[in-house]
Amino acid sequence: MSMTITEKILAAHAGKESASPGELLQVQVDLALANDITAPLAIKVFHELGVPHVFDREKIALVPDHFVPNKDIPSAQQAKIMEEFAYQYDIKHYFKVGEAGIEHVILPEKGLVVPGDLVIGADSHTCTYGAMGAFSAGVGSTDLGAIMATGQTWLKVPEAIKVVYDGTLGSWVGGKDLILFTIGRLSVQGARYKTLEFSGPVIADLPMDDRFTMANMAVEAGAKNGIFEPDDQLRSYLEGRTNREGVYWKSDPDARYEETIQINVNEISPQVAFPHSPDNVMPVSSVDRIALDQVFIGSCTNGRMTDLRMAAKILKGHVAAQKTRLIVIPGSPAIYKEAMKEGILETLLDAGAVIAPPSCGPCLGGYMGILAKGEKALSTTNRNFIGRMGHSESEVYLASPAVAAASAILGRIGSPEEI
């Protein structure tokens, strides 16, 4: 039976020879993930089940990344619950403050995911690991509590949409622009509980950081998972990170897709998503003069090394506009350290940026950059719903690090071409 990558991974983890869309499977989980917001409820459910131990202490990852270092007493209590659980059950992959970065940045960085894995996390952006040829998806904390006890979960095999990218990427165009353009075409419900399989000659040459960005935002089109065919770029990325080989699945040439979408990237320029939805997209060249109170560069979408390099390249020799705050948060301690070695942090500081410790920061309206009533921000994050980064009457625009850096200098939404 011909199958897609996703169908092959699900079949393998269900102990079956094949899987088809709509089929309900009981699958084994390779890695279960939770953070400081979602772990406490999952831990409560785990204890209610009355089991004596977790299914596998080496297949659970606990990452405090949303409200760390703790911003108040409630967040401190949440972090304490997770820490005590990690030590009680000797969880191998618990990352305390100082070791922790953004969960979806540090897990690939530390080699905890390889192609062919099945990863389930109590966070909607767990779909990030599809960039590594893994099936990865988010669930609620209740489900994750049961997974920590059993190592298993139920999944319905999703229909698949194949997105084929042809052409040549233009100046300043990268993974963030490709995924924003794609979400704009599909809408936020266009891939609801489906697989988005990213393919084509453009994807074959796309760097891993850009792939992480695209897989991360698959859920913004409603997708259950986004996935890339694992290739030599991934092999190179994994060198020195893990001793696990993984399984380099490929979709069969005659695999069945519900839909195939062809996208000519020659038509794509840097994109901006307007409030209050990631599918409300237009080219930056079509944006009127929208003054900005804040620019944020970071998050599990665009807080990686290449993102900071791009921002520094544009900001070097410039200063953020007088009325625009610039906040930069590296995605992990390793990225922070490398950015320091390369002089990137100095460039950002000289440009007037505030550099915060690795965490989600203001992405979810957590802290270190909350918006006040009436304020407008351009962000490299993944969501711009009402109240996402602060006050319900604030506005969030989404774009790439290149557009964000240029906009910080201009004090309004603008293109790198203007710098």
Q: Does residue 47 share a domain with residue 127?
A: yes
Answer for the pair 293, 325: CB distance below 8 angstroms, yes or no: yes
Give residue 319's domain range.
272-418
Domain boundary among 216, 232, 263: 263
Same domain for 21 and 117? yes
What is the reported pLDDT for 330?
98
Q: How far apart are CA 341 and CA 305, in angstroms?
A: 12
DSSP-assigned letter for residue 125:
G
Q: Are residues 233 and 291 in the same domain?
A: no
What is the spatial distance between Cα 86 and Cα 130, in angstroms, rounded to a whole number? 26
What is the C-alpha separation between 75 and 73, in angstroms, rounded? 5
Q: How far apart are CA 166 and CA 361, in angstroms?
A: 35
- Using alpha carbons, select from 26, 244, 7 the residue that is nearest to residue 115: 244
Spatial distance between the Cα atoms of 199 and 219, rounded to a whole number of angstroms: 17
Please write the tens of the pLDDT for every residue from 360-412. Answer: 999 999 899 999 999 999 999 999 999 999 999 999 999 999 999 999 999 99
Residue 189 and residue 50 share a domain: yes
Distance from C-alpha of 303 to C-alpha of 65, rounded to nearest angstrom: 13
Mean pLDDT of the chain: 97
Residue 126: what pLDDT? 98
DSSP 204-243: HT--HHHHHHHHHGGGGGT-SEEEE---HHHHHHHTTT-S
Residues 73 and 193 in one domain: yes
Q: Do residues 240 and 165 share a domain?
A: yes
- Provide the residue type at 214 as one letter: M
Q: Calculate the CA 74 to chain-centre distance.
A: 25
CA 377 to chain CA centroid, Å, is 19
Same domain, 408 and 279: yes
**pLDDT the model gives residue 359:** 95
Angle at 402 between CA 212 and CA 277, to 5 degrees: 65
pLDDT tens column, 298-316: 999 999 999 999 999 999 9
Per the structure block, which two tokens stand in for 89?
Answer: 């059950």
Q: Does 293 share its domain with 259?
A: no
Tell me: the pLDDT tens digits for 233-255?
999 999 999 999 999 999 999 99
The reported pLDDT for the residue numbered 1 is 85
Within this chain, do residues 135 and 163 fall inside the same structural domain, yes or no?
yes
Q: H/E element holding 17? A: none
pLDDT of residue 80: 97
Same domain, 287 and 223: no
pLDDT of residue 8: 98
Total structural domains in the chain? 2
For every residue of 134-187, DSSP letters joined together read: -EEEE--HHHHHHHHHHSEEEEEPPEEEEEEEES---TT--HHHHHHHHHHHH-
Q: What string of pLDDT tens digits covers the 419 residues of the chain?
A: 899 999 999 999 999 999 999 999 999 999 999 999 999 999 999 999 999 999 999 999 999 999 999 999 999 999 999 999 999 999 999 999 899 999 999 999 999 999 999 999 999 999 999 999 999 999 999 999 999 999 999 999 999 999 999 999 999 999 999 999 999 999 999 999 999 999 999 999 999 999 999 999 999 999 999 999 999 999 999 999 999 999 999 999 999 999 999 999 999 999 999 999 999 999 999 999 999 999 999 999 999 999 999 999 999 999 999 999 999 999 999 999 999 999 999 999 999 999 999 999 999 998 999 999 999 999 999 999 999 999 999 999 999 999 999 999 999 999 999 99
Nearest to 416 by CA among 317, 285, 308: 285
The CATH number of the domain holding residue 296 is: 3.30.499.10
Based on the fold, state whether residues 258 and 320 are members of the same structural domain: no
39 with 16, same domain: the answer is yes
